[in-house]
């Protein structure tokens, strides 16, 4: 495959060719009852699927303004620590993913007007960067700090390493 074709494919949103069947995370699994089925994955994978964590954490996830992001990220950080106290790696990892997603989504709105990265009416071409909102950049910075704080938690890092070695 040519490098220009690879680049064009990389510039397309991944959801266009999404394969539900091959996706590791399933909405019909209770990951608290069957944590062994949970996979860490890359980045934020599974964050909007894995129950009951999606419902426990997702209701607090907001990034409209810096103040809202501070309240949201503080609550999600509290949940992260509570899951850690319960030795619930899946919950802690999901909370970490919501913090990461707060950063990435707020950054997308900071970079692109309306948070739209692709022009679906123009073969999903990348839209012009730099048309977003400054307040979203401030919200992103709040989430970034909390995300990195969770990732640098020594106990969490060891749990994640052990989990990936055992279960993936």
Indicate the burial class of 117 (C-beta count within 10 angstroms; 0-12, 13-18, 19 or more): middle
Residue 105 has pLDDT above 80, yes or no: yes
Q: pTM of this prediction?
A: 0.83
Q: How far apart are CA 59 and CA 71, in angstroms?
A: 12
Residue 22 has pLDDT above 90, yes or no: no
Tell me what pLDDT residue 6 has. 46
Q: What are the extents of the domains in the chain?
A: 45-166
Q: How many CB atoms lie within 10 A of CB 124?
A: 15
Residue corresponding to tokens 């950049």: 137
Q: What is the pLDDT of residues 113-158, one digit of tens each?
A: 766 666 677 776 666 777 667 888 999 999 999 999 999 999 999 9
C-alpha distances out from residue 25 to 67, 78, 81, 99, 139, Å? 32, 24, 23, 19, 28
Instruction: State the chain's mean pLDDT as an integer.
Output: 86
Tell me what pLDDT residue 113 has. 75
Q: What is the pLDDT of residues 31-56, one digit of tens each?
A: 999 999 999 988 898 899 999 999 99
117 or 92, higher pLDDT: 92
Residue of 73, 54, 53 whose CA lies nearest to 63: 73
C-alpha distances out from residue 14 to 80, 101, 121, Å? 28, 16, 16
Contact (CB, 8 A) for 126 and 118: yes
Q: How confident is the model at residue 89 (pLDDT cuts 50, 70, 90)?
A: very high
Contact (CB, 8 A) for 89 and 165: no
Tell me what pLDDT residue 8 has. 46
Q: How confident is the model at residue 5 (pLDDT cuts 50, 70, 90)?
A: very low
């Amino acid at each position: 495959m040519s490098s220009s074709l690879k680049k064009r494919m990389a510039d397309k949103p991944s959801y266009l060719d999404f394969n539900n069947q091959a996706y590791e995370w399933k909405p019909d699994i209770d990951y608290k009852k069957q944590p062994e089925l949970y996979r860490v994955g890359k980045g934020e994978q599974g964050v909007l699927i894995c129950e009951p964590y999606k419902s426990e954490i997702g209701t607090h996830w907001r990034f409209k303004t810096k103040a809202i992001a501070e309240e949201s990220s503080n609550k999600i950080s509290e949940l992260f620590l509570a899951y850690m106290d319960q030795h619930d790696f899946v919950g802690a990892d999901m909370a970490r993913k919501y913090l990461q997603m707060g950063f990435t989504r707020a950054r997308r709105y900071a970079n692109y007007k309306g948070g739209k990265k692709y022009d679906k009416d123009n073969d999903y071409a990348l839209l012009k960067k730099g048309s977003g909102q400054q307040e979203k950049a401030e919200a992103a910075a709040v989430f970034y700090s909390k995300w990195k704080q969770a990732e640098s938690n020594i106990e969490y890092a060891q749990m994640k390493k052990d989990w990936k070695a055992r279960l993936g």
